Amino acid sequence: MRAADISDQLTDVLVTEEQIQARLRDIAAQVAVDYADKNLLLVGVLKGAVMVMADFSRALPTVAPMDWMAVSSYGAGTKSSGVVQIRKDLDEDLTDRDVLIVEDIIDSGLTLSWLLENFESRGAASVEVFALLRKPDAAKVHVECKYVGFDIPNEFVVGYGLDYAERYRNLRDVAVLAPHVYA
């Protein structure tokens, strides 16, 4: 589904599928160089990172195993509680692994900050972050992000894995959801 198909539900397209794919190829090429002699493990954060992880891993010119984690700091609300709950833990041991967390978006940074500390405490050789999208104006804590696809405004966005009430994840573009949809 493209933004044009549901234009009555969106206000602005921030990043198109074509822009996303081009940026993923660029970052994948850099990651391949940066991790050439390392024990790389890609870790995706469910559910939002599914699209990013799938396309990013296919763009990598090297073998890179992946694992998944599901965490929540929102519960049933729309604002972070600040308390992180593990919904699904990793299957892989992180000891001496070079972990690259693959995220769809960095918003407040609270959950990602917790993940970084958690992975370091598990004995990872290194832990870095790749986020397709980052909202600098929404940050509550500073999170060092080695690879960033796009900085976007502090708007409610959907598409390319990002959802509203489990809808819009399959939108191929990243767009601002119109307030009348969620208000």
How much is the pTM? 0.92
Write the burial class of residue 157 (CB in 10 Å: 0-12 exposed, 13-18 middle, 19+ buried). Answer: buried
Classify residue 75: in a domain, yes or no. yes
* pLDDT 10s digits, 21-50: 999 999 999 999 999 999 999 999 999 999
In this prediction, residues 93-110 reach a mean pLDDT of: 94
- pLDDT band at 76, cuts 50/70/90? very low
Classify residue 183: in a domain, yes or no. no
Rounded Cα distance, 33 and 60, in Å:
10
* pLDDT 10s digits, 115-144: 999 999 999 999 999 999 999 998 888 889
Classify residue 166: in a domain, yes or no. no
* Residue span of the structural domain in which 54 resides: 18-154
Domain harbouring 62, CATH code: 3.40.50.2020
Could you give the number of structural domains in the chain? Answer: 1
Classify residue 178: in a domain, yes or no. no
Which residue is catalytic, options 104, 107, 137, 151?
107
Q: Is the per-residue pLDDT at 172 higher than 90?
A: yes
Query: Is 8 an active-site residue?
Result: no
Instruction: Identify the pLDDT of residue 121.
Output: 96
